[in-house]
Amino acid sequence: MAERERRITPPYGGVFHARTQVMSPDDIHRAVWRMAHEIIERNHGLDQVVIIGLQTGGVGLAGLLVDDLNQIEQVELPLGTLDVAFYRDDIGLRPVLPEAVTDIPFDLAGKIVVLVDDVLFTGRTIRAALDALTDFGRPRSVQLAVMIDRGHRELPIRPDYVGKNLPTRRDEVVDVGPEGVQLGEMRK
Amino acid sequence: MRHLLSVDDLGADGIDEVLRLTDSFVEVSARAIPKVPALRGKTVVSLFFEDSTRTRLSFDTAARRLGADTMTFSAGSSSLKKGESIRDTVQTIEAMGVDALVVRHASSGVPDQIARWSSAAVINAGDGWHQHPTQALLDCYTIRQRLGSLEGRRIAIVGDVKHSRVARSDVTAFTLLGADVTLVAPPTLLPPSLEGWPVRVSHDLDAVIDEVDVVYLLRMQRERMSEALVPSLREYTAWYGLTPVRADVAEARGVVIMHPGPMNRGVEIAAEVADRPNVAVIDQVRNGVPVRMAVLFLILGAGSEAFSAGPVESEPLVAAGGQA
C-alpha cells in the first residue's frame, strides 16, 4: 500500500527520504522463512493452498514466500497476482490507475487463498482485494500475510501472518524495497 | 481529460495511456465474471442521433462491465420528432443526473457543441465526416496486438476517405504513434485538399499492397453512388477492392487486413477472403469493449490528474533474486 500511495498521493513526484532502517534484506528473508512455516503449521500442510501477491508491493514477497514454501514441503504451489485498482473505494477521490495486470490462472473454488502484501496500513487495499477475489470464485478461506503491519486501520481487517509490527505516525512512509524495510517521509 | 471529442485531445501519450489501460480491461473481459465495480453509481447515456449498432452496443457493454448504469436515447423515438432542439434535449437528459454522454450525430461538431452546453463528460462516438476517436483507439490496439507496435509501420487506408470520420481519426492516431500512412483512393473519394495531412497518396492498390504492413479498408458507402463519385461498384471493386488475387498477395506477405464495419462483402472486400487469418475485423470488434472501458474509466473514474501524472514507473521491489 505504501508503494502505491507514495507515487500517486501528494506531494506528487516527491522523493522518499529514509530515516530509519527497520529491516535488512536478510531480515526480510528470515521473516519470510518464518511466515512460510507458520502457513504450513496453520493449514496442516499446503493442501489446497494458493498464494496471491497484490500488485505491486506484494508480488515480490509472494514470490519469495512461494519459493520457501515449495522448498520446505517439496511442492509446486500455484502463484497469482492481483491488481485491485478497479475495486478501490477512493476512485474519483484521487487518481487511481492499475499498475500491472491481474493474473490468476487457476480456479479459486474451495482453495485456501493466502493474500500477500508488503505493508498493511488502513486496510482498504485488502478490502478491495477481498471484493475482487469473489469475482474469481469462492475460496474456502482467505488468509493475509504482510511484511509490515504499521497500524492505523480504518476497517475491521487483521493479518494472519506478520513479518514485523511497526508502530508509525500516520504521515510517515514505510518503504519495502531491495534495501530492506525503511521508515521515512516524502519530501518535495 | 474531461471530454473525448477528437484524437487530438489525447496526443501520443494519451493514446499510449489508453492502450496500456486496455490491457487491464482485456484481462477483466476474459474473467468468468467480466465485471468490476470501478464506475459504480455513475450513469452513462448513449445519445445517438444517427443509427449504429456496434458502437452503441460496445459502449453499453463497456459501461456495464464497469458497473455504471446505462440509458439509451435514440433520435427516432424521441421528442426531437416533436421539434425539440438538441440543446433542450441535452439539458433535459442532463437534469436527470448523468455523468457521461456518448454522442453520435450525422453532423460534424455536434459533440463539441454539446460539450460546451453540458456539465457531463462528452465522448464522441462519431460525428459526420469529422472524428470517431474510439474507433481509432481500438484500431491502434488491434495493430499493436498483431504487429507489436505502430512505430515505423506502413499503413494503407483504402477507399472513401472523403466521407470517412474513421479515416480522419485513424490518420491522426496512426501518425502520432509513428506509423507512415498512405491513402489509396480515386481522386473523387479524397478530400478536396490534403494540405496538412501527414500522408502520401496513391491510386494504385496493387503497388501499395506490396510494401505495407496493414491495409485498412473503408466502407464503400452505397448511398454515395447517387453522387456519381465512382462509375460503378464493380469498377470500384476491380480497382480498390480486396479481390481474391490481392488477398493472396496480402496473406503471403502477412499484411494485416482491417475494416471498421459493417463490411460490404463483394464490394470493398471479396466475400470469401473476409475470414482469412490475416483479417483482423473480428479482433477490432472484440477490442472495442475493453478500449471503451479504458476511455470511460479515464474520464469518469481515474481522476483528471491521471493523464498529467504520466506513466507510473514500476520500481523493483524485494529482490526476486534474493533467496531463490
* Weakly modelled stretches of chain B, pLDDT under 50: 304-324
Query: How far is residue B113's CA from residue B273's CA, in Å, rounded to a whole number?
Result: 41
The answer to whether the CB atoms of A25 and B322 lie below 8 A apart is yes
Query: How far is residue A33's CA from residue A67's CA, in Å, rounded to a whole number?
Result: 9
Query: How far is residue B120's CA from residue A19's CA, in Å, rounded to a whole number?
Result: 46
Whether residue A63 contacts residue A78, with contact meaning beta carbons closer than 8 Å, is answered with no
Cell of B35: 465485471
The answer to whether the CB atoms of A95 and B38 lie below 8 A apart is no
Query: How far is residue A122's CA from residue B72's CA, in Å, rounded to a whole number?
Result: 40
Residue B44, SS3?
A: strand
Per-residue pLDDT, B224: 64
Please give the C-alpha separations between residue B130 and each of B108, B134, B226, B284, in angstroms, as whole numbers. Answer: 5, 13, 22, 21
Per-residue pLDDT, B228: 80
Query: Helix B281-296 vs helix B54-65: angle between axes, to the nearest 10 degrees?
Result: 50
Per CATH, which fold does A2-187 belong to? Answer: Rossmann fold (3.40.50)
Give residue-wise pLDDT tens across range A147-166. Answer: 999 999 999 999 999 999 99
DSSP string, B55-104: HHHHHHHHHHHTT-EEEEEEGGGSGGGGT--HHHHHHHHHHTT-SEEEEE
Q: Which contiguous run of DSSP H or E holds residue B111? A: helix B110-117
Report strand pairing: B121-127 vs B100-105. parallel
CA-based nearest distance B26→chain A, Å = 10
Chain B 288-317, CB below 8 Å of chain A: which residues? 297, 300-303, 305-306, 309, 312-317
Taking residue A134's Cβ as centre, other Cβ atoms within 10 Å add up to: 13
**Domains in chain A: boundaries:** 2-187
b/e map B144-163, b = 16+ CB within 10 Å: bbbbeebeebbbbbbbbbbb
Question: Which residue among the candidates B22, B55, B142, B175 is catalytic per the annotation?
Answer: B55
Residues of chain A in contact with residue B36, where contact means CB-CB under 8 angstroms, are 86-87, 132, 135
**Could you tell me which residues are beta bridge partners of residue B124?**
B103
Per-residue pLDDT, B306: 43
Query: How far is residue A61's CA from residue A54's CA, in Å, rounded to a whole number?
Result: 9
**Domains in chain B: boundaries:** 7-132+288-308, 133-283
Per-residue pLDDT, A17: 87
Give residue-wise pLDDT tens across range A67-93. Answer: 999 999 999 999 999 999 899 888 766
Q: Which of B31, B317, B318 sits opposite A136 (nearest CB)?
A: B31
* Listed residue (A127, A150, A160) closest to A42, CA to CA: A160
Which CATH class name applies to B7-132+288-308?
alpha beta
Average pLDDT, whole number, for chain A? 89
Whether residue A162 contacts residue A146, with contact meaning beta carbons closer than 8 Å, is answered with yes
Residue A102 has pLDDT above 70, yes or no: yes
Query: How far is residue B267's CA from residue B246's CA, in Å, rounded to a whole number?
Result: 14
Cell of B222: 452505397
Chain B 9-68, CB below 8 Å of chain A: which residues? 21, 23-24, 27-28, 31-33, 35-39, 66
Per-residue pLDDT, A3: 44
Per-residue pLDDT, A1: 37
Name the CA radius of gyration of chain A, rounded: 16
**Could you tell me which residues are beta bridge partners of residue A49?**
A112
Residues of chain A in contact with residue B38, where contact means CB-CB under 8 angstroms, are 85-87, 91
Q: Does A8 touch chain B (CB under 8 A)?
A: yes
CA-based nearest distance B127→chain A, Å = 29
> What is the average pLDDT across A30-52?
97
Give this prediction's pTM: 0.87
Whether residue A99 contacts residue A83, with contact meaning beta carbons closer than 8 Å, is answered with yes
Taking the CA atoms of residue B110, residue B114, residue B115 and residue B121 in that order, the dihedral angle to the nearest 10 degrees is -110
Q: Is B258 left (phi over 0), alpha (psi -120 to 50) or beta?
A: beta
> What homologous superfamily does CATH list for B133-283?
Aspartate/ornithine carbamoyltransferase (3.40.50.1370)
* Listed residue (B14, B58, B8, B11) closest to B260, CA to CA: B58
Per-residue pLDDT, B77: 65
Residue A122 has pLDDT above 90, yes or no: yes
Residue A97 has pLDDT above 80, yes or no: no
* Listed residue (B285, B3, B13) closest to B173, CA to CA: B13
The cell 479524397 sits on which residue? B190
Q: Do domains B7-132+288-308 and B133-283 have the same CATH topology?
A: yes
Amino acid making up residue A67: D
φ and ψ at B240, to 5 degrees? -125, 5
> What is the average pLDDT across A23-38?
97
Whether residue B233 contacts residue B220, with contact meaning beta carbons closer than 8 Å, is answered with yes
The overall longest dimension of chain A from CA atoms, in Å, is 49
Cell of B84: 425539440
The answer to whether the CB atoms of A176 and B297 lie below 8 A apart is no
The answer to whether the CB atoms of B21 and A94 lie below 8 A apart is no
**Judging by beta carbons within 10 Å of its beta carbon (0-12, 13-18, 19+), is residue A36 exposed, middle or buried?**
buried
> Catalytic residue at B55?
yes
Q: Does A91 touch chain B (CB under 8 A)?
A: yes
Cα of first residue to Cα of last residue in chain A, in angstroms, is: 20
Amino acid making up residue B242: L
Before A11, cis peptide (omega within 30)? Answer: yes
More reliable by pLDDT, A134 or B140: B140
Half-sphere exposure (Cβ direction) of A18: Cα atoms closer than 13 Å: 11
Residue A45 has pLDDT above 50, yes or no: yes
